[in-house]
Chain A
Amino acid sequence: MIPLHWYLILAAVLFLIGVLGFFLKRNIITLLLSVEIMLNAVNLTFVAFSSQHGLISGQIFVFFVLVVAAAEAAVGLALVIAMFRNRESLNVDRSNLLKW
């Protein structure tokens, strides 16, 4: 049996990689991929606690997180297409119309 904190530390490492990617990369698709990494890290934490406590609720939460991730990816990618059509670039630093 694997101790719980191994899973938690693995999830923390994955979450950290996601956060670093989100802040250090400028390509908007990479940013979306980093968000997916973070969501997966959180899912891993949910499942680890669910298995530890013998409760099914944690896995139900992961199910809902998956649904929200699917919706987020669909809307986010539609926004990426709209942004690329208007800007000809995916660099988030280029879309600074609100910043004068």
Chain B
Amino acid sequence: MIQILFFLFAALAVGAAINVLAQKHVLYSSLALIVMLTAVSALFILLQAEFLAVINVIVYAGAIMVLFVFVIMLLNLPADPAGEDGSDRLRWLKLIGIPLGIFLLLMVGATVWNVSNSTNATQMTGTAQAIGQSLFTDYLLPFELTSLLILIALMGAVVFAKKDL
């Protein structure tokens, strides 16, 4: 049963990721990415990381992707002109890059295949309680520093998007 779910969501994630690149208009690309994020969240649940699955949906699909869609609609983009993405140089790049990428994937797969599958006896579930306890004891300083990072990113975004820069 779990295997079937894994393959279902894995196929959904890979298909949606390919769809992100296949779509002509970026709006459809970002919608496909939302599907991919949801599939990855389902895989998180299969790995017993419930809190991260919820956070992934809320933060990624709910906040970041909405930001993307807002910006795309704000810019009022035309659909990708056909000639712009298929220049001669790019066709060569695709011809070389995709086989090299598949070769890289085979290398990684061959390495990963030999990873020892030592199942740990202690079953751990990533509930909000477990993550919160770890976050506010062992990782308190990094957690506080992320607030600084967010603040800087916020100010940077406002400055960059200002009209008279």
A interface, CB within 8 angstroms of B: 1-10, 12-14, 16-21, 23-27, 29-30, 32-34, 36-37, 40, 43-44, 47-48, 50-57, 59-60, 62-64, 66-75, 77-82, 84-85, 90-91
Contact = CB atoms under 8 A, between A and B. Distances in A.
A12 B157 contact: no
B156 A29 contact: no
Interface in B62-82: 63-64, 67-68, 71-72, 74-75, 77, 80
B153 A55 contact: no
Interface of B: 2-3, 6, 10, 13-14, 17-18, 20-21, 26, 29-30, 33, 36-37, 40, 43-44, 46-49, 51-52, 55-56, 59-60, 63-64, 67-68, 71-72, 74-75, 77, 80, 84-85, 90, 93-94, 97-98, 101-102, 104-105, 108-109, 112-113, 115, 117-124, 126, 130-131, 134-135, 138-139, 142, 146, 149-150, 152-154, 156-161, 163, 165
A82 B160 contact: yes
Contacts of A52: 118-120
Contact of A70 (B63, B71, B90, B130): B63
A78 B160 contact: yes
By secondary structure, the B interface counts as helix
A22 B141 CA distance: 33
B60 A69 contact: yes
Contacts of A71: 149-150, 152-153
Given A66-B60, A67-B146, A81-B160, A40 B37 contact: yes
A18 B90 CA distance: 17
Residue from A53, A77, A84 having most chain B Cβ neighbours under 10 A: A77
